[in-house]
Amino acid sequence: MSASQKIAFIIFFGVAALFSFVMFCIHIKTKGSLKNSLYLGTLSLLFITVVVLLIFNRTIDQKKRRVVTTKKSNSTQNKNSKRSKSRYQIHGYDIIEQLGYVSTGAIFKGYNRQRNMYAAIKILSNDSSNNPAYVESFIQENNQGFKINHPNIVSVFKAGKFRGRLYYIMEFVDGITVREELVSNGAYNEQKAINIGLQAAQALEYANSLDIQHPRLNTNKIIITQGGQIKIYDLHVVTPEYPGGTITRFPTKPYGPDKSMNNSPIFYIAPENLTKEKPAVPDELANIYSLGAILYNMLTGIPPLYGFFSNPIQVVEGFISEKPLPHIQTLNPNISNEVCQVVDLMMKINRNKRYQSISDVVKDLVVL
């Protein structure tokens, strides 16, 4: 209660007391009994006090409601103003924040006020946007991407150019990448790894039916939602002109945003794509190897060959010499023989000895 309200209450209470005293005096003058006069004065005082309190409570409640309504209105206005203050807008989406970097550009979070929906917007680097082969591949990728409709693959809504740079707008997935979760929590338990691997294999099986592959499948390309569903992004048609998932130049130092090779996709790329001369185009068998490498990472907590070589060139040389990987059970003895056998078959260096169909991988993961 404010000071002004307190003063008003005292005044009202004084008036009520005066009124009660007057009633008491009148009753005495009219020769009423003292006892009855006291009763009448007290009841008058109580009645007026209750009426005054009810009036004050109603006034205070109304003021509180106005304050709460004002706060909500201000909060909504602040949120809308933040969204409307975006410096850049792409196809109706305000750029809100940057979500991260990828090898070909950066990914941003966008908000469409008319549709009241969020989206992820990938804006490619100048090098990629000005590469004719990549531009052609980009067009093919998005023409195919619009056709993809699978619960474990991120949907693509729109593609185009923004200030001379290619972009595409895709479904926003509120979750965490496999790599981020591995860095935070370490190796997965067997059942969780198999569940994620199975969902990814089913997504790759569907994409393969459309002649779509993933050019560089790794732990950064798989997002896990809070409900445990996974979403793969960056699937597209790969061509000899722009295979996407090959290594044609070799950095001599660790690379990635955290300056460590642990963030490098090189550990997940099939050996046949790790060559300086005429690398193979990523295909179904290459994706099988990559998914096997991701499973290996999830089960052991480290990427294949990580820590055994100091730079990417040595990783390639290790593949060429067919250096055996540390066995999964050596790094995590809790993993079953059956799971180890599936991962080992997926990761055969000789592609002819691997699973020859992603559908076969799905069948084996289902029964694990």
Domain limits of the chain? 3-66, 89-171, 176-367
- Mean pLDDT is lowest, of 2-16, 261-275, 290-304, 345-359, for 2-16
Residue 150: per-residue pLDDT: 95
State residue 353's pLDDT score.
95
Output the pLDDT for position 11: 66
pLDDT digits (tens, 9 = 90+) for 107-122: 999 999 999 999 999 8
User: Which range among 171-175, 200-204, 225-229, 308-312 shows the weakest confidence by mean pLDDT?
Assistant: 308-312
Q: Average pLDDT over the chain, rounded to whole?
A: 77
Report residue 255's pLDDT band, with 50, 70 and 90 as the boundaries: very low
For residues 9 and 48, give the distance between their C-alpha atoms in angstroms, rounded to a whole number. Answer: 12
Top-tier CATH class for 89-171: alpha beta
The pLDDT assigned to 159 comes to 86
Percent of the chain surpassing pLDDT 70:
60
Helix/strand/coil percent split, the chain, to 5: 50, 15, 35
DSSP assignment, residue 352?
G
Please give the model's pTM, rounded to 2 decimal places. 0.70
Q: Distance between CA 91 and CA 96 in Å, rounded?
A: 14
Residue 341: half-sphere exposure toward Cβ, Cα within 13 Å: 6
As beta bridge partners, residue 366 has none
What pLDDT score was predicted for residue 156? 87
DSSP string, 26-39: HHHHTT--HHHHHH
Spatial contact of 263 and 312, defined as CB atoms under 8 Å apart: no
**How many angstroms separate the CA atoms of 281 and 210, rounded?**
16
Place of tokens 């490619």: 124
Tell me the C-alpha to C-alpha distance, in Å, between residue 223 and each of 29, 63, 123, 179: 90, 47, 19, 9
- Tell me which range, 20-24, 101-105, 280-284, 299-303, is most confidently predicted by mean pLDDT: 299-303
Specify whether the CB–CB gap between 137 and 244 falls below 8 A. Answer: yes
pLDDT of residue 281: 77
Contact 234, 170 (CB under 8 A): no
Between residues 324 and 251, the one the model is more confident about: 324
**Fold equal for 89-171 and 176-367:** no
pLDDT band at residue 210 using 50, 70 and 90 as cut-offs: confident
Q: Which residue has the higher pLDDT, 258 or 329?
A: 329
Higher local confidence (pLDDT), 37 or 128: 128
- What amino acid occupies position 170? M
| 16 — pLDDT class (breaks 50, 70, 90) | low
pLDDT digits (tens, 9 = 90+) for 39-80: 555 666 666 666 666 666 666 555 555 544 444 445 554 455
pLDDT at 235: 79
Structure tokens at 327: 């066995």
Residue 294: pLDDT over 90: yes
Q: Name the class of domain 176-367.
A: mainly alpha
